[in-house]
Chains A and B, each alone.
Chain A
Amino acid sequence: MPKMLLYILLIGLIALLIPPALIATERSTVKKKPRVHLVQDMDNQHRYKAQQANEFFEDGRAMRPPVEGTVARNKLNDDAHFIKGLVGDEWATTFPGQIDVTVDLIHRGQNRFNIYCLPCHGEAGFGDGIIHQRAFKLVTAGVNGTTWVQPKSLHEKAIREQPIGQTFNTITNGVRTMAGYGDQVPVGDRWAIVAYVKALQRSQFAQDSDLPAGTNRSELQFEKLPEQETPDETTDDATNPQDEAEQS
């Protein structure tokens, strides 16, 4: 075989290795550039998907917000008790008729609380969530103009004693530096969170009267908590132990 032909053949064979090598590289790297689909079929159609951009509108959204002053079908809700926590001009002190207060509702509330409230208020509601801890560090270090007010402990007297309609309103519209969660959490779930917050507050502020009739309190404590100091420490965790002492 002439040497020339042999070289051409060899170069050709080596060239055949290039595409698999390129493909293998492509597979193992992180890609910043848009995906290339050579065969488009109907992958990208002439319609807008949810949250896609559309330059036709001034704000660039393809999805249109409802026109001001309009209500979507079946979305009219003028029940102030249910959607605002108001009865007349007063905060509601009872749950609205649409809400059945059951153990399931409280469990649902716990689940939602742990998603939306726990980051700031903490799992037990003392205002010591992980966001608070991080923000506090950032304020101390003076990073990027961070400001921070510690989230309220849900066991403070003022919060413990507020009407549930007001708690519902705080969740919906926010208060002080807390943002409102009315758009993020559906109305039924907000009432469920209210129910759970009530349960949480009671758990940290149990009364003798909460015990089943005929229970001897000192015996109960002795059985459950043999070390005498433990009960004192738990009350110290509450933000206003003196308030609670006065109450009991």
Chain B
Amino acid sequence: MGRYHYVFPRWTNLLLPGAIFMAMVAPLYVVYVVAYGFSPMTTDVGYAPDQVIEYSHKLHAGELGIDCRYCHNTVEYSAKASIPPTQTCMNCHTQIHKDSPKLEALRQSYEKGTPVTWTRVHDLPGYAYFNHSAHVNRGVSCVSCHGRVDRMDVVQQMQPLSMGWCLDCHRNPTENLRDPSEVTNLGWSFKGTEQELVDYHDFWQDHNNINPSQDCSTCHR
């Protein structure tokens, strides 16, 4: 050692290029973590809260084939698809499974006239105004935003429901359009050649004159 004790060792030559390299990579890393981590694909998609009643869409809409609109009957007239009132459940459940312990909360609600406290799964920010009827009546199927609910025992959010995701479709809606009479048929798929499918989408776009607005005030008002 001796007089060389205070001389920087050779490896310290790496410090400056190392620091420059880190300074370049660190922002990329931060941007990546924030963009990937805070994206609604991470925070919102896959949200499937437990509900007070273990209601299964897979059984009711899938196996029994009850149309979405039997329960969500306001979807064609109103902005909200609406969680059905207890009465709609009781159309059948005054008789079917009427003593089931799983339906205790439902019976309580029916007797007392208080609502069942369902937990909301699909929730837009307070400044976004989505209208179900405007979409459903123009041939955008439930499945485009909600996924195959008829295969879910517990409803799960499938799409980010973010502004960018909305705009993807508002800019290019063609592929999400179908015959409005098939909107609640979640398992529907087009039978025909690729060219026929393109023509099919174009036909419904023309037929219903679909030209979605991208104005701010369309959704934010």
Interface window among A53-61, A73-81, A213-221: A53-61
Residues of A within 8 A of B79 (CB): 50
> 1/0 per residue B1-42: CB within 8 Å of A?
000000000010010000000000000010011001110011
Are A144 and B97 within 8 A (Cβ)?
A: yes
- A234: CB under 8 A from chain B? no
5 contacts between A and B (CB under 8 A): A26-B42, A37-B43, A111-B181, A144-B97, A179-B90
Are B117 and A32 within 8 A (Cβ)?
A: no
Are A35 and B47 within 8 A (Cβ)?
A: yes
Interface window among A15-23, A165-173, A190-198, A235-243: A15-23
A interface residues with partner B (beta carbon < 8 Å): 1, 16, 19-20, 22-23, 26-39, 41-45, 47, 49-51, 53, 59-61, 111, 114-116, 119, 130-131, 134-135, 138, 143-149, 177, 179, 183-186
Are B73 and A60 within 8 A (Cβ)?
A: no
Given contacts A30-B46, A32-B48, contact A148 B95 (CB under 8 A): yes
- B212: CB under 8 A from chain A? no
Are B95 and A51 within 8 A (Cβ)?
A: no
Interface size, B (range) = 35 or more
Contact of B32 among A20, A33, A51 (CB under 8 A): A20
B interface residues with partner A (beta carbon < 8 Å): 11, 14, 29, 32-33, 36-38, 41-50, 64-67, 69-70, 73, 77, 79-80, 82-83, 85, 87-88, 90-92, 94-100, 113-115, 117, 123, 125-127, 154, 156, 181
Bound CA–CA A29/B96 (angstroms): 34
Residues of B within 8 A of A50 (CB): 79-80, 82
Bound CA–CA A184/B80 (angstroms): 15
Most chain A beta-carbon contacts within 10 A, residue among B69, B73, B79, B91: B91
Contact of A41 among B11, B48, B114, B125 (CB under 8 A): B125
Contact of A119 among B37, B70, B97 (CB under 8 A): B70
